[in-house]
Structure 1
Amino acid sequence: MDSADLNVLRSVLAWRQAGQRVLLYTVVQTWGSAPRPPGAMLALRGDGMLIGSVSGGCIEDDLIERLRDGRSAPGRPVSLVTYGVTREEAARFGLPCGGTLRLTEEEVLDTAWVAALLARCENHELVARELELASGAVSLHEASRGDALRFDGQRLRAVYGPRWRLLLIGAGQLSRYVGEMARMLDFEVLICDPREEFAFGWEDGTARFVPGMPDDAVLAIEPDERTAIVALTHDPRLDDMALLTALQSRAFYVGALGSRVNSAKRRERLAFLGLAAADIERLHGPIGLPIGSRVPAEIALSLLAEIVALKNGIASDAPSASRACGQPA
């Protein structure tokens, strides 16, 4: 897990531990078209160094100027900053016509909550941070994947940690590329591979291993509407076990690596094993968007493009449609 928000908070912690002044900005409301969604974060160090993003760049420049000209003076725990109220201001800050966004400007004094939040996220927990604007007080609470940012003008509640999960069946080379890219997209990456020889090289924490056979792993993680499951071993004894269970779950995406011919044979096997036609129809295979992918990194890119499209509500072709995705017919 390595989201942009967590990188911002890691910098906040490091800067404060080094004795630097730090301002933390969070997008809390947007109207019309806005360059960054609610929840986007930026940290600004006392010398003007920044990490994160709340716009395409112009607002970041103004936040630096606010720091330098004294508008962001110490002594105010939390302030609200609004950009794009007028058409002229929207144009000045590079916002689309009619776009407006509101930020909280928060001076970070106590870092205990930052360290605790990071530790809980590293432990694969979802954490909600509540900020009281009047006092600047911060508290942490358990959260669920369905939670969203809430702001009522007095209190901000934001959720941290990956709310989307990707379970990969198989720990081979392709899974390594998929896992690294998925982490950058804020997915929690899970791996199941009962073959002990394939565990080498995953010591860096890119993914969390789920023990047991693939069908047991699928059951163990309790797939929901924010879970994607992809079988990548090319071994029917492993892939089919996972697919039989995954296709009957609530996972929003279930796919399996293979050519058109192999994908057709897989569907025949699943039918022979008693899986209902409606469940088989959910299977994505060949996986990925048709970008002419051949090498593992390109196949990973096409796969994650398809998963993200569905995650964002963009309909793809029917799962059974023919796609190359790096696999010969």
Structure 2
Amino acid sequence: MTGHDLNVLRQLLSWQQEGHKVWLITVVGTYGSSPRQPGSMCALRSDGLLLGSVSGGCIEDDLVSLVKQHQLSTSSAEIKIYGANQEEQLRYKLPCGGQLRLLIEPVLDRTWLEAVVTAIESQKLIKRQVTLDSLQVTCAHAISHEPVVSEQEGSLSFVYGPRLRLLIIGAAETSFYLANMATALDYQVFVCDPRPEMQETWQHEQSTLLTMMPDDAVVSLQPDLNTAVVALTHDPKLDDMALLEALKSAAFYVGALGAKTNNDKRRERLQLFDLTQQEIDRLHGPVGLQIGSKTPAEIAVAISAELIAVRRDRIHTPQLTSSVDKVTV
């Protein structure tokens, strides 16, 4: 889920609180090439105001037309298919063979909406299940590898909140910039630093500060294929502790700050412990794309860019065998 999706839900809640009739439209399935992924959403008001996107624009225009003509149900949810044939694909400017399945859902009770918005703002995952005919909604805690959208007979489930996790070792300036960027990229951010003087000066409200030792922090998070671990303390005693556990985990990315010479020495140290060569080869060090970064903010940009590149399979990282599938977001 992106920050824009959160804005859609906030606006939907605001409109509902003001007494407007509102609908939440969500992409629940795609076929062929599609401009939006399942889970993409928009908020629609009875007077035609719309925020968000489920396509490139033509489908949104049709939804606005439908609501102005009072053709959307105010008592039950429905699934509408766009692009069922070539004529519709041309009309709605869908890519060749593209098809979208949308859930059009009137929002009558804002209780679940408040719960979802609160959970997302708290950087927590929440799962919502809606029964199509009765609009009955239930919310529960979700886990990171659950699909964004799942369909059952007569109902649909949605998972909201950060789909990815980032554990940063070290509460320094570079960590602050990286935490900001990672939050914008839909990561749930954890920052670990056992040093009291660093804990006292850490100020990043959207991240969770962990005061335990780095290896304990990695173990407690149980990194999966949607988790990245980045060591930024410049202190081998702290960084290496985290890496020893992270490199054995299923984390999709493990990186460490430092020049090439320092990271070569780090790899030599890691060989003294119970790590295989395959596990050591997973280390990204020096961390981040090599774009000439110098300042803390620039280094954070380079790390963020490399996280994106690895997730999008632009850079290969050896992965350990895991029973948990990676979530595509």
Which TM-score band (shorter chain)? 0.7 to 0.9
Measure how far apart 1:153 and its partner are.
Answer: 6.3
What does residue 145 of structure 1 align with?
144
**Residue 136 of structure 1, CA deviation:** 1.4
Q: Distance in 2 between matches of 1:291 and 1:49?
A: 42
Q: CA deviation at 1:165?
A: 0.6
Higher alpha-carbon deviation: 181-190 or 41-50: 41-50
Q: Is the 8 A contact 2:227 2:251 kept in 1?
A: yes
Show the 5 A alignment for 1:1-329: 3-72=3-72, 74-148=73-147, 149-152=149-152, 154-199=154-199, 202-316=202-316
Q: Is the Cα contact below 8 Å between 2:172 and 2:202 reproduced in 1?
A: no
* Secondary structure, aligned partner of 1:242: helix
Question: For residues 46 and 199 of structure 1, what CA distance do their matches in structure 2 show?
Answer: 49
Distance 1:65 1:289 in 2: 46
Cα displacement (A) at 1:86: 2.4
> Structure 2 stretches of 5 or more lacking a match?
320-329
Residue pair 1:2, 1:183 contacting (<8 A) in 2 also? no
Instruction: Compare 292-301 and 240-249 and name the one that shifted more.
Output: 292-301
Query: CA, structure 1 residues 57+201, in 2 after alignment: closer, same or farther (shift >3 Å)?
Result: farther
- Using structure 2 for the length normalisation, give the TM-score: 0.88
- For residues 245-276 of structure 1, give each alpha carbon's deviation from its aligned partner in whole angstroms, at most 9, with x where no partner exists: 21122212111011211211111122234543
Residue 272 of structure 1 aligns to a residue in which SS?
coil
**Alpha-carbon offset, residue 101 of structure 1:** 0.2
Find the counterpart in structure 1 of residue 322 from structure 2.
none
Name the Cα RMSD after superposition: 2.4
Asked if 2 retains the 8 angstrom alpha-carbon contact of 1:81 and 1:103, the reply is yes
SS at match of 1:238: helix
Q: In the superposition, relative to structure 1, how do residues 75 and 15 fare at CA in structure 2: closer, same or farther (>3 Å)?
A: closer
Give CA-to-partner distance per residue, 1:197-233, whole Å, 9 cap, x none: 3346654522111221211211221222221100011
Instruction: Give the 3 Å change call, closer, same or farther, for CA 153–275 of structure 1 in structure 2.
Output: closer
**Which is further off, 23-32 or 284-293?**
284-293
After superposing on structure 2, the runs of 4+ consecutive aligned residues of structure 1 that deviate more than 4 Å are 200-204
Deviation at 1:194, TM superposition (A): 2.0
* Cα contact 1:169–1:242 (8 A) shared by 2: yes
Q: Hey, what's the Cα distance between the residues in 1 that align with 2:192 and 2:266? A: 20
Give how far 1:282 is off: 1.3
Contact 1:3 / 1:161 at 8 angstroms: preserved in 2?
no
The secondary structure found in structure 2 opposite 1:110 is coil
Q: TM-score, normalised by structure 1?
A: 0.88
Equivalent position SS for 2:6: helix
- SS of 2:95's partner is coil
Count of residues in correspondence between the two structures? 318
Q: Secondary structure in 1 aligned to 2:297?
A: helix
Q: 2: CA distance between counterparts of 1:36 and 1:153? A: 24
